[in-house]
Each structure stands twice: as C-alpha cells, then as structure tokens.
Amino acid sequence: MAVDQTYRRLSRRSLIKLTAAGGLASALPSTFLCPEALAQGRKVLNTMITPEPPIAVPGINNQGPTLIVGSKLFEGLLSYSPRLGARPALAKSWEVGSDDLTYTFNLQTGVTWHDGKPFSADDVVFNLTKLHPEVNPRLRATLANIESAVAKDPATVVIKLKTPFEPFILNFDATTLPMLPKHLYEGTDVRNNPANQNPVGTGPFRFGEWQRGNFIRFVKFDKYWQPGKPTLDEIVYRIIPDSNLRGVALQSGQVQMAAFNDIEAFDVPRFRGLPNLEVAINGWELFAPLSWIDINNRVKPLDNPKVRRALSMAIDRNFILNRLWFGVGKVATSPICSSTKFHDASVRLPAFSVAEANKLLDEAGLPRKADGTRFELRFMTLPYGEIWNRLGEYIRQAFGQIGVKLNAEAVDAATWARRVGEWDYDLTVNFVYQWGDPTIGVERTYVSSNIQKITFTNTMGYSNPKVDAAFLKARQSAKAEDRQAAFSEVQKILVDEMPVIWLLELAFPTITDKRLKNVITSATGIHDNFAGVTLG
C-alpha cells in the first residue's frame, strides 16, 4: 500500500501522538525508507521535496523542485552572497573589461564530470552558445546579447557582449545557468536526451537512485574538485504527498530538513517552538518569489483589461496572507517585489472591493444571468501542496462573489507545466522568481518577444509596445536612474492593465535539525550544492 494511502487514514492528532510515543518508526511501511539511508555510520541527510520534480536537470526544467535537487548535481560558474555579490564556483575568478563588454572567466582546475570526463572551457562555451539558448526560457534575451564566447584555453572563457548589460554577472549560478556536459548533449535532442534521466554533473553529489513516488538518492562524488568535500555521504529526498505525514516526519526526526513547500504555513509556529529545530526564512534573496493568478489573456473575456482588474479587486490579499499563509510573506503591491532592485513603492494595486469589482464587470457588458453567474472559466490548481489547494478554494469563492464561476482542474506537476507551456488553460496559480534584477526575472513574463509555448515565458500572451520599449530601455541603459525610470513606467502600465493578478511576495521557511550546519550560506539557500553541509 502506498505511504500516503496508509497515513491519510490517520488524523493529524493521532500521528503526533504516535510520534510522541515513539511508534512512528515502527509503523512506517518498508517502502517509506530508503534502505541505503539506514546504513550505520554514514552521514546521510534525509529530507523531503514537494512536489516530486519531473527531472533533476536545471535549465531543461526550471520548476522549483527541479532547481532544489538538481543544484546538488550541477554547478554554475558563480554563486552569490546574501547581498548578491558574486562568489567563485566553477570559475575561480573573473574580470570585467573596461569596455563593460568583455567578461573573462578563469575556471577551476581538476574538475571532472561524474562519468570521469574532464570539465573544460569547451563545456562552458557549449552551454552559453548552444544548449541554454535552445532550452532555457528565461535566458534567451540575455544570451542573445552575447556576440562571442571563446575558449581561450581549457581553463579560460572570454565572453564578448554586443551591448553593456549591468546585471549580466547575476546569470551564472547553478539554478540560472547550470553547466551541462557537452559530450552528452551536443548534437542531441536536448529535451529528450537519456542523460536527463541519469544526470551527469560536476557537483559534490552524483545521481544514485530514483524510485518514483518514494525517494531520490544522491551519493557523495568521491572525485569532487574541492578537497575534503562533501562531508555528507548521501542526500535522500523523500517524496511524501501527505502534508500531515511530512510534518510528523520532521518532528519525529525521520528527516532532518524541510523547506520550500514541504511544511504547511500553519505548522511553522509549532516548529519554531521545538528545541531540536531551527526555522529560517533567508536564503531566497536572489529569487524573491512572487505569486500570482496566471491569466490566459487570449481567452474572452479575459482579453479585456477591465475584466482582469475586476478579478484583481475581488481578491483580499490580506486574507490570503494572514489566514492561509499565517503571516509568512508580504502582500504584493507591484510586478516587482519590494526586495528587488527598482521596485517603485508609489505603484499600488487597486484596493480590495467586491462592489467595485461587480461595477467593473457590469461596465464591461457582462451582466449576471438568472443563476447569478456572469461567465465560467477553467481554473487549473497549482499542484504544489495543500496550501495551494486552499488558495485555489479561496479564489473560487472570491470570484464566485462577482459572478465568475471557476471549474477546477486538478493536475500533477508535470501536466501543469506542460499545459501552461501549451497555453492550455484559462486561469491558474503560479509563482515566479525575480533573479535579483527585473531585466532577468521580470521582463521575460511580459515582453511580446517572449510569447512562447514554454513554461515561465510570457505564456499568458500579454502584449503592449510601450511595455516592450520600456523593458528594452532598461536592458540597454547603463545608468541606474535611467533604469529606474523605465522600470517605474513598466510597473505603472502593468498594474493598470493587470496581465496577471499579483498575490504575495512569498517567504519559504527552511526548518532544520540543529545538528545540521551550513545549510543557508548564500542568496540561494537550499539551492546551494551542500558541499559544506555537515550533520553532527
């Protein structure tokens, strides 16, 4: 019997009592535990990932779970401090030319892929000029600005840009631009390459085993290029669909870390009070995740900005923050998070008002019918855990107050990504990272040139030449004040036309056993490679 089927029959209270009595471990089905993880004397980090990712290769798939697990296998040229300062990773040093166009990266030596092949500058050039321009949705515009990328020698890469690009240096961490092996991907169908199922990276952990629906196991890479690292022997990501069981697994010590969507917001205060656990909300500085209701702008009557504005005014964001997220996070006020550069605090979303929302829909020529509804829409829920299901329920109720009936469609993570990428939806919920600069993390969602059938592009089909021009001006401007002016114009137009309905600036808690050290040391937190993580 599947794990979630077993435990879904138990109440939350009974599970906690069972844990307190020490009976949880004996009650666990044998399929719940990874046998290798029980080996005595080995430093094994047991953790969770929710939901189960489709693959473990960042760049080819950019859903949050993929980035979290894949960054243990794959590395980028750089990493970033909490203040977004660049740090060495696969590049030990770098220089920016006086022309602001030339970037020279000096690579670490002695780096090998997990299959024993040497990592070199040729791999970097391949990733910059071939692989990522083809498959990575948010890097297309950035990489299109590269005039040339040359392997000067096996350990040196010289990149020449067409035009200066101030945030270019923020594009090189493992979640943004991971290095994938040229010898396995060159000349292949990258998206369907067999290596996607048996990943080969340069990271401190190599792929071990994946039992779908049960666990993903990564094993220490003995030939890792950093001497003495990693200190962990294994990392086991457990797939636990039931949120109650995830909480019990953490409280009982069956896992030593929970993060991202693993723990329900209402459980966070309880875990803060436990003496063996620590709760942190830092480690998301580069991402600044922003949640929203994703609108297919092609679908009538959603092609009318007045209708989209009415839907936005029917949403009580303070209710979502305080009653669903229990105060963890902030209410969104703009398309650019308040923690991201160039946020304009003078831009504000229209206030919550059901009466005004109804008035707008009347003005849009969408009167109520005899049954009280105005129109119906398909609504695809985000399959990332129960809190997102509850958010979906709230949205259905909120829109019901203004006569908009939502027909919910439940899908798994892979189906959700495919259907969004194929524009096969009316409404859904999404959250997107901002990557330290609006040109990198925000522009991709709204410019006409990025209307593509690829998830995390402008899949909603929004188009406004003024927005395109303002984003272009910000991209090509070297002065911060010019970029601020352009981004302020963008924020004002977008809030007026409401191509999506922004909800919350998310904060994902990371809850760790106090014996676990060095988990969050950068702006990407749990997305780091965990080479320096120790378990006492």
Predicted structure pTM score: 0.82
pLDDT of 39 reads 54
Residue 219's SS3 state is strand
> 96 pairs with which residues across the strands?
103
pLDDT of 266 reads 85
Residue 339's SS3 state is coil
Per-10-residue mean pLDDT, the chain, length 536: 36 47 44 50 93 94 94 98 94 96 97 98 98 85 92 98 91 96 97 96 98 97 97 96 92 94 88 93 93 98 98 98 92 94 94 98 97 97 89 97 97 92 97 91 94 92 98 90 96 98 94 96 96 95
Task: Look up residue 118 and give its DSSP letter.
Answer: B
CB 293 within 8 A of CB 381: no
> 386 pairs with which residues across the strands?
none
**Distance between CA atoms of residues 34 and 214, nearest Å:** 8
pLDDT of 149 reads 98
Give me the DSSP letters along 383-419: -S-HHHHHHHHHHHHHHHTTTEEEEEE---HHHHHHH
Domains defined for the chain, CATH in brackets: 44-53+203-283+509-535 (3.40.190.10), 75-184 (3.90.76.10), 290-506 (3.10.105.10)
**Distance between CA atoms of residues 106 and 341, nearest Å:** 29
- Rounded to the nearest 5°, which phi and psi values hold at 307? -70, -45
Q: Is the peptide bond before 164 cis (omega within 30 degrees of 0)?
A: no
Q: How many Cβ atoms are within 10 Å of 128's Cβ, its own excluded?
A: 22
CB 459 within 8 A of CB 299: no
